[in-house]
Amino acid sequence: MNEELEPKLRAAIANKRLIDELDFMVELKKTPVFALKEKLCLNIRENKVLPVFTSKKSATLFQANFEQKVDFDLCMIDNLLQNTNDADTIGFNVRPLHMENRGNQQYWGLDSFRNMQEKYEKLLAEFALNARIDKFERIYFVPAFVDNNNVLAGSERRFAALTAPDERSYVPLFDNFESLLTWYSEPYFQHILNDNSGEILVMTIDDLMNPKTGRNEFSFAVGVTINPLDYDISEFEKTLVSWAQLRGEV
């Protein structure tokens, strides 16, 4: 079993952010979970909960504290949900109520969970189209810091920046999820996002340059860099697009 699933669930629970939820959903799509062979639903706080477990340790802990003997199968989540009729809730890493949550326990209503699956599958399908269209027409993942406190002026969005070898700053954009994860897996960038309540926005170039609401603040950035960590530092210039190019002036 892939050991990356549970840490990604923990990140999705803790951060409640697009990148972490999407990362968990992508991993869950290809990684089996432990489910009860008996297909039991548990009555927990007036909900009929389908319990699933993202690690053998979590499944064993449940097994040791359950009132009757249970066995587990490894199942793909989609197959499990297709064969579930009685449950109204899915519970990841269910524990007895008297035991503390160790950061890996989460309940979703089945309808909400399926809607989340559908939302992220649709988003990835939209990003897959980027490979066939011009970079000026694509959608991008964009790390940002959003201030919603100004009711009259609307949201103010500040953007992360990378410094190029020429010492100038560029706003990083990512036209696919793998390139975004490469950036996010760098501890320095991850800490910046986490420590400043950062978000990942989905935007077009037009959204970036001409926001319909609020204001976009680029500080000292002189343009954007697309998928910057996909290239060696010696090829960094290939990723750069200036504001003038984005405005169609050159």
Indicate whether 74 and 19 sit together in one domain. Answer: yes
pLDDT of residue 150: 63
Compute CA 79 distance to the chain's CA centroid, rounded to the nearest angstrom: 22
* Structural domain includes residue 110: yes
From the first residue on, what is the mean pLDDT of each consecutive set of 10 residues in the chain (250 residues)? 87 93 96 88 89 92 83 92 87 82 90 96 97 95 87 77 90 97 93 90 95 90 96 90 88
So what's the pLDDT on residue 153? 57
Same domain, 86 and 112: yes
Q: Give the pLDDT confidence score for residue 2 in this predicted structure.
A: 66
Domain closes at, from 73, 101, 122: 122
CB 19 within 8 A of CB 184: yes
Same domain? 32 vs 117: yes
Among the candidates 67, 96, 122, a domain finishes at 122
User: Is residue 179 domain-resident?
Assistant: yes
Total tally of structural domains belonging to the chain: 2
Residue-level pLDDT at 92:
96
Residue 127 lies in a domain: no
Which amino acid would we find at residue 144? A
Q: Report the pLDDT value the prediction gives residue 82, as an integer from 0 to 100.
A: 87
- pLDDT in the model for residue 109: 95
Cβ-contact 177, 143 below 8 angstroms: no
Of 215, 219, 222, 213, the C-alpha closest to 243 is 222
Q: What's the pTM value of the predicted model, to 2 decimals?
A: 0.89
- Residues 118, 10 share a domain: yes
Give the DSSP letter string of 1-49: --TTHHHHHHHHHHH--HHHHHHHHHHHHHS-EEEETT---EEETTEEE
Q: How confident is the model at residue 20, as a pLDDT?
A: 95
Alpha carbons 249 and 166: distance in angstroms, whole number: 22
According to the model, what pLDDT value does residue 55 have? Answer: 92
DSSP 121: H
The pLDDT, as a whole number, for residue 248 is: 83
What lies within 8 Å, CB to CB, of 174 at 6+ separation is: 140, 141, 142, 180, 183, 226, 227
76 and 143 assigned to the same domain: no
Question: Which domain does 237 fall in, by range?
Answer: 133-246
Q: Is residue 64 part of a domain?
A: yes
Residues 168 and 190 in one domain: yes
The reply to whether 151 falls in a domain is yes
56 and 165 in a single domain? The answer is no
Res 218: pLDDT: 92
Let me know: does 182 contact 230? Beta carbons within 8 Å.
yes
Residue 227 near residue 240 (C-beta atoms within 8 A): no
Q: What angle do CA 164, 166, 167 make, to 5 degrees?
A: 70
Q: Tell whether 13 and 113 lie within a shared domain.
A: yes
Residues 116, 34 share a domain = yes
Output the domain CATH number for residue 68.
Answer: 3.40.1350.90
Residues 89 and 19 grouped into a single domain: yes
Residue 128 lies in a domain: no
Q: Is residue 14 part of a domain?
A: yes
